[in-house]
A and B are shown apart, each in its own frame.
Chain A
Amino acid sequence: KQEVTQIPAALSVPEGENLVLNCSFTDSAIYNLQWFRQDPGKGLTSLLLIQSSQREQTSGRLNASLDKSSGRSTLYIAASQPGDSATYLCAVPRNRHRDDKIIFGKGTRLHILP
């Protein structure tokens, strides 16, 4: 059974700092991994999707890496801004099935201090 763990659960950093969010998963037989952003009381927005054949993806100030063999992914946010404050969720498809059912971590609540 796939399990996704995110560390830390919450993080507060001053504006302008670079930061790393961590995600680990128990079954490395995944075919992609996604990072989502969720603002309070809102739905989810996909930030980055890394296919199993890839090691990283970049979008603007965001960079996500994937190490399947160790069951880890990181989301790097450069030059953080107050608008980055949100919950960041890591998610992987259910293992050994290709029906796109997603298993989520509990998220990291990020607060950027102005």
Chain B
Amino acid sequence: DTGVSQDPRHKITKRGQNVTFRCDPISEHNRLYWYRQTLGQGPEFLTYFQNEAQLEKSRLLSDRFSAERPKGSFSTLEIQRTEQGDSAMYLCASSLGAGGPQETQYFGPGTRLLVL
């Protein structure tokens, strides 16, 4: 197992285009999270899945954003009609989902999006 992977690592797009990012979590992990990080800020929660169910969406996730985890394994995050304000690092994380104070999330390398 090589940890959480994300693809692509970098994406440059023009304003108004649609983009899709993929996250492959650690194989036995039930929970998958998406965060967004802008320059000089800590990551901010966007949404998370327990298996294939999307359990929560942040107010940061406008109608232009959609996330899926169809088979409870990999997840995709799509941004429609991108805006310059969408430029950020998009981080994916996964965890076992067993709960408890010792549980940690494992983060992927992120996808850096630049909207021109």
**Which residues on A are within 8 Å of B, measured CB to CB?**
4, 31-32, 34, 36, 41-46, 49, 51-53, 89, 91, 98-107
B95: interface (CB < 8 Å) = yes
Which residues from chain A contact B110 at a C-beta distance below 8 Å? 41-43
B1 within 8 A of A: no
The one of A43, A98, A105 that contacts B107, using a Cβ cutoff of 8 Å: A43
B103 with A99: CB separation less than 8 A: no
- 22 inter-chain pairs at a CB distance below 8 angstroms, sorted by A residue, are A32-B101, A34-B104, A42-B110, A43-B4, A43-B91, A44-B91, A45-B107, A49-B104, A51-B102, A52-B101, A53-B101, A98-B99, A99-B48, A99-B55, A100-B99, A101-B33, A101-B56, A104-B42, A104-B43, A106-B41, A106-B42, A107-B42
Question: Are B102 and A32 in contact, with the CB atoms below 8 A?
Answer: yes
Counted as pairs of residues, one from A and one from B, with CB atoms less than 8 Å apart, the total is: 66
B112 A102 Cβ-Cβ under 8 A: no
- Contact of B44 with A104 in the complex, beta carbons under 8 Å: yes
Supply 12 further A-B pairs (C-beta < 8 A) apart from A89-B42, A102-B33, A102-B105.
Answer: A41-B110, A41-B112, A43-B4, A44-B91, A45-B107, A51-B102, A89-B43, A98-B99, A100-B48, A100-B105, A104-B44, A107-B42
Q: Which of A42, A98, A100, A105 contacts B42 (CB 8 A)?
A: A105
Is there contact, CB below 8 Å, between A102 and B48? Answer: no
Q: Which of B56, B91, B102 contacts A99 (CB 8 A)?
A: B56
What residue in chain B is nearest A91 (Cβ atoms)? B42
CB-CB < 8 A to B41: which residues of A? 106
